[in-house]
Structure formats: structure tokens, C-alpha cells
Amino acid sequence: MTKGRHCGRPAPLRWGGSIALAGTALALAGGYLQLGDRAGATTPEPTSSPVMYDESPPPAPKRVTPTTTRPSPAATSQPPAARPGKPVRLSIPRLQVAAGVLGISTQQGELIPPSNPRKVGWWNDGAFPGARRGSAVITGHTVHAGGGAFDNLEKLRPGDVVGVTTAKGQLGYRVTSVTTYRKQALAKNAARIFDQAVPGRLVLITCEDWTGKVYLSNVVVIAQRTS
């Protein structure tokens, strides 16, 4: 029985050159990121009716004293906005994904997702989800035979919702772009994808285009915070 090969198997992130992201240099080696779509109602016709005229004088208007009603504190109170924090769970309703999140870091220039393909990895040298600035990068495996958390990431569309749970609350994001990069194109755009100077955003990355031996591309989803 042949096991499904997942993206990222032993060297998930390999590029040529180097870029510094949040003080961490990632190797960029001419390779690419391997991380592992009321009928029938009728309007009644108006009917005529006699018009009655009342010649009696109109009643005197009643005096109304205006009153001011203040809403109770309980009715106006809103839950506090979630602060930036370490992610523990990622949810993507459109894809029926609810995955645990583990912190990951670069190892000799490689960003290695969790070995369990049903979990995803947050790059802990990048921004926290919910931060005012920087890219919060979460990577996950694609398993060509099924079973990876990000198997269908390419099916997301702008406007789709992504949720991130942290120890400090729930964060909501809305997808703004879904892009598939071939390996050379990803290397050229890496600095922009991992940018830590942009307004706070969420970046999801996985593999795409399985040939039977390797993945040729990567899907990159960018989402902006909504709540």
C-alpha cells in the first residue's frame, strides 16, 4: 500500500539567496516552498368606498413631554477586541477545516511544518495574528492522496472567511487574494509574501501541482483582519 506523500517531507522551505524576515534569514535556493467554488402571489385590486366627511372641530392636540431613555450598560457593552497572540487553532469554514496550530521556526534555513499533516504551523519569527503590522504566516501540508489540512487551499476565493483562535480571543479574517506561484515565481516574490512591514495580515501557504513525484507550485492565500 502506497502512502500519500505530503508536501514538506524533509526539506519544506528551500530558496536561493537570502532574505531577512523579523531578524531571521531564510534560505532561498532556486527551489520552492514544499509544505508537503414568492411565486403565485397576486396584488388585490383596489376597491372603492364612500368618503365620509366629519365636520366636527378637530380635537385639541395633546401635550407630550419628551423623555430621554438611556440604554443600560449591559445593552451597549461590546466584547473587548482580541489582542495579538499566539495562534492555537485555525478554522476555514468553506473548506471545513478546523486545525490545531503549532509554533514552528526555521532550522538551517528551512521552515518545517508539523509532521502531522492535519495540523498547521505558525512561523513564530513572524508577526502574531492580530498584530497591527507584519505577516502572520501559517503553513500546512498538502497530501495528494487526501488528509492534509491544506489539501484544498487553492479553492478559497476572495471574500471567504478565516478564523484564528489565540489564547487572547478569536480573530476574524477575510480572504483578499489567492495566488498559485511556480517555484521560480515564488522565489522572486518571497520578500513581498513574508513582508513584516505591511499592515497586519494573515498568509496561508501550501503546495500545489503534484506530478506523482514532486509538487511544482505553491498556493499563497492572503487575508485581512475583519474582527
pLDDT of 81 reads 61
User: How confident is the prediction along the chain (227 residues), in pLDDT tens digits per residue?
Assistant: 444 455 554 334 433 323 233 333 343 333 334 443 233 333 334 433 333 334 445 555 555 555 544 544 444 444 456 689 999 999 999 999 999 999 999 877 777 789 999 999 999 999 999 999 999 999 999 888 889 999 999 999 999 999 999 989 999 999 999 999 998 898 899 999 999 999 999 999 999 999 999 999 999 999 999 98
CB neighbours of residue 181 within 10 Å: 20
pLDDT of 50 reads 38
The residue among 216, 221, 220, 195 whose CA lies nearest residue 31 is 216
pLDDT of 19 reads 28
Q: What does the block give as the cell for 224?
A: 485581512
pTM of the shown model: 0.70
Scored b (16 or more CB within 10 A) or e, 117-149 reads: bebbbbbbbbbbbbbeebbbbbbbbbbbeeebb
Given a contact cutoff of 8 angstroms between Cβ atoms, the answer to whether 129 and 166 are in contact is: yes
pLDDT of 219 reads 96
pLDDT of 64 reads 52
pLDDT of 6 reads 56
Please compute, for residue 64, the number of CA atoms within 13 A of its CA located in the half-sphere on the CB side.
Answer: 4
Residue bearing cell 489582542: 83
